């Protein structure tokens, strides 16, 4: 499976964030924490704020958005 170079894991709540953190830390996903934007789960509910904070940066490759 070929995934984009950068991954943005977006979670709304603390429970989802904790679950993704556990999965990533125990190598149970198909990507590593080092591939995630800011190497952490992103807690943003607004698409506009996500776009302003992350997508206006100059990335040299595609970003895969994973929303939980």
The per-residue pLDDT for range 2-58, each reduced to its tens digit, is: 788 899 999 989 999 999 999 999 999 999 999 999 999 999 888 899 889 988 888
- Other beta carbons within 10 angstroms of residue 38's beta carbon come to 10
Q: Which pLDDT does position 2 carry in this prediction?
A: 78
What's this model's pTM, rounded to 2 decimal places?
A: 0.82
Alpha-carbon span 49 to 54, nearest angstrom: 8
Q: Which pLDDT does position 1 carry in this prediction?
A: 66
Burial class (CB in 10 A: 0-12, 13-18, 19+), 41: buried
């Amino acid at each position: 499976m070929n995934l984009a170079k950068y991954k943005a894991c977006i979670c709304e709540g603390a429970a989802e964030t904790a679950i993704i953190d556990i999965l990533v830390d125990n190598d149970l996903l198909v990507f590593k924490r080092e591939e995630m934007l800011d190497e952490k789960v992103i807690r943003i509910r607004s698409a506009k704020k996500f776009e302003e904070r992350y997508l206006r940066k100059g990335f040299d490759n595609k970003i895969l958005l994973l929303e939980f």
